[in-house]
Structure 1
């Protein structure tokens, strides 16, 4: 319980919490962006193959 008290009450703990939240958010953003780019590239490749047939 002492760790949570330090995490939420001290400036160092709050900065650490902010970094943790930021890193999780950045991971979520990049995973969504990479998944979208892979999906778009797959669709573009199917269109290119269909155009050559």
Structure 2
């Protein structure tokens, strides 16, 4: 219980919390960004295959 209290009330605990939140936020953003680009590239490739322009 003391560890949780220190984590939420001390300056080093709050900085750790902020760092964790930032890292998880960036992880989510990067995962979303990559997924969007994979989806776009897949759709473009499928369209080119249908049109007969695939490499």
TM-score by length of 2: 0.87
List runs of 5+ in structure 1 lacking aligned partners.
none
Larger helix proportion, structure 1 or 2?
1
Counterpart-to-counterpart distance in 2, 1:30 and 1:37: 11
Say whether residues 1:7 and 2:36 are aligned partners: no
List runs of 5+ in structure 2 lacking aligned partners.
none
Divergent runs of 4+, >4 A: none
- C-alpha RMSD of matched pairs (Å): 1.2
